[in-house]
Amino acid sequence: MLKGKVALVTGAARGIGRAICENFADCGADIAFFYASNDSAAEECKASVEARGVKCRAYKCDVSDYHAVEEAFKSVVTEFGTVDILVNNAGITRDRLVLAMKEQDFDDVIAVNLKGAFNLIKQVYPVLARKRSGRIINISSVAGLCGNPGQLNYSASKAGLIAMTKTVAKELAARGVTCNAIAPGFVETDMTKDIAQSAPLADAIPMNRFAKPEEIAALASFLASDRAAYITGEVIRCDGGLAM
């Protein structure tokens, strides 16, 4: 579905980001991905993607740093020639109840989860507008739709990402560029490994289990493909019915 396309994925060394890289590669896309710090995980992801017969490059980049993103994006365009698909997946948590939440906890999460997405969209926007085609996919969360105790910062960042999605979709629709958001519920990743076996959490999900990263990736691949060319500004839950 994605043969001949170049995809840029952030937060891709592990979890959902890695699964998206691998799924996109299976669909024929060349992959550039950003990661924050885990060199060994990034190398494993790169090797896994290259084993699928496509080109792959990894870039260490703090997505909250505008100038770092600007330079890294230039490197991607130099190496690959263009970008057709952007997936804003980079995200962190700093969970605390509001009374215990520190200002830095709030600022850090907003900087990575929300400003980081802006920094990437700012770079890819003119490229896709000139091409009059392309896909932007933002990985939000059901927390951005419903809120979640102890996650004021995270929920706010993911809700902001949804508003950003709709705004960019409206701005770029006439150029043939789509922008959509995926809102996962609980997913089996390093971020949730400590709570993955929690019976009360699983019981709250109508499907009685956490999602697998590959299930989020499959939806991302569809939204990145020509099959989704008339879908834009949408927030698609992939949550087993959690926020139904």
CB atoms within 10 A of CB 97: 10
Q: What angle in degrees, to the nearest 10, is found between the helix axes of 103-110 and 152-172?
A: 30
Catalytic residue (choose from 59, 125, 154, 230): 154
Hey, which residues does 58 pair with through a beta bridge? 33
Whole-number Å distance between alpha carbons of 108 and 100: 15
Question: Do 90 and 11 meet the contact criterion of CB atoms below 8 Å apart?
Answer: yes
CB crowding 206-232: b at 16 or more within 10 Å, else e: eeeebbebebbbebbbbbbbeebeeeb
Q: Give yes or no: 66 in active site.
A: no
Whole-number Å distance between alpha carbons of 186 and 180: 20
Which residues are CB-contacts of 76 (< 8 A; sequence separation ≥ 6)? 8, 32, 57, 59, 83
3-state secondary structure (DSSP) of residue 11? coil
Whole-number Å distance between alpha carbons of 64 and 160: 15
Whole-number Å distance between alpha carbons of 69 and 115: 11
Q: Which residues are catalytic?
A: 154
